[in-house]
Structure 1
Amino acid sequence: MKVELIACSRPLPGQCGTVTNLIGVTPNPMRVIEQAASVCYDSKPDFWDFKIAHNCAKTGHLSVYEHIYFTFHIEGISRACLAQLTRHRHFSFSVRSQRYCDESHAEPILPTSTNEDQDGVIADAYDYAWDAYDRLIKDGVAKEDARMVLPNGAPTELYVSMNARALIEASHLRMCHRAQSEIRAMFNAMKYCLAVPSPEIAAMMVPQCEINPKYQYCTEGKSCGRHPRLQDLLATATQQQSEEADKK
């Protein structure tokens, strides 16, 4: 898998408090968010600590984070991973087309949870699928029809763009330990790409259970065990209140 950030929103020279007389200065996209958020409160934007933007995030007002965009180039993920990724709203996609592109020499993706024997079974299934694909192509079947025999493990390449809010909220779900390892790895790679140009956004890309560092709990029906489930915490609190009431 290869994930690279190829573009992100930047304030124009002279805008959003950008320093224009220093060579090599790369303005943080957070400056755009800070300026947009400042108008909501008739406040002076803080272009160094981004206080207004951070306060908006803390209180759940993430609409101001929709003003900046990121574009990633992604290679070597499976079509199964792509299917999961495309379920997220407000993402824009340009994907390698199996209808027009020849997939004869594609290298399929093996799942990370299988053992050596299981990998052999999967590899045999892949070989059978690609043999069928190659025969159909040689027999003159159109690529758009021959692709029907290709598995979910077929690799793909794409460009994907999204605003910061959509990226952050998707990461809460896809960085969860219960998410499939492939898409979890992809979002971790996207976070890594943002560490330099926008560390504030990267820091907000965490699993759902870790949005609030002081109160960490799982909202899933089945927890991975990393943090207690919310319903268990509420049940414990209710029981404690009941026991305290009985003592009075």
Structure 2
Amino acid sequence: MNSSQSVAGSPEPAPQPVQRGSQRFAPGEGPLPDPAGSHHERRIRSFQPRRSRVTTSQAEALLKRWPDWGIDIDGKRVLDLGEMFGGLPVVLEIGFGMGEATAQMAAADPGTGILAVDVHTPGQGNLLGLADRNGLNNVRVANGDAIILLREMLDKDVLDGCRVYFPDPWPKARHHKRRLIQPEFLSLLATRLGPGGVLHCATDWEPYAEQMLEVLSAHPDFENTRADGGFAPRPDFRPLTRFEGQGLDKGHVVHDLLFRRK
């Protein structure tokens, strides 16, 4: 968790204002543009950074809450989730968009900590603002590559679950290697999930749903929670998002998959 400290006896400098549209913050005051830098090897990215404007309210939320609730994924330290969440069971959410669904789930289940990872600065600010206004102390926002977080910054068996909702489907065949749900990712995740921990995926891209089901069903560390080996109905705890509603209005079919670590 990031924090800023002043030299004893000297006044702490006031945070510098962040202009609308800026995505750069002073160290410790907001998410860094590339937190891992050159510390770890580059790999095929499963996400596409989106460079959109940060509103004034999002920037204010980042300045206010990032020092306490924000984490840059730099790969330099192992996080103490027990201390960070006060001993709550912790679920990792990879990709949360603007954070509305994350905030709803955190409010509905205050007994579970949510470690929410994304690279979209406006969404990070929006989620922190929602958490702040609604008193959601069980949310932490991580900035950067979820693979580096899993590989370098989390202990084994530390997670109670993982949520991957509507990841980039990378629809072109030559980009399928960029899809997140691959055997290598599942093998890494399995080491960080405790026994019985559940991976919950959802997508409205049917070819990706079929690939997810195939890859997960074949992986030795996971088993389908569905006795019939198929897709699951949307659980009550996963909110119907605005994005999902728009897809349903267009005739898209949303598939949920819930697989348990053996």
Query: TM (normalized to structure 2)?
Result: 0.21
Greater relative CO, 1 or 2 (CA 8 Å, sep 6+): 1
Query: TM (normalized to structure 1)?
Result: 0.22
**Whose strand proportion is higher, 1 or 2?**
2
**Whose helix proportion is higher, 1 or 2?**
1
Q: Which has the larger radius of gyration?
A: 1
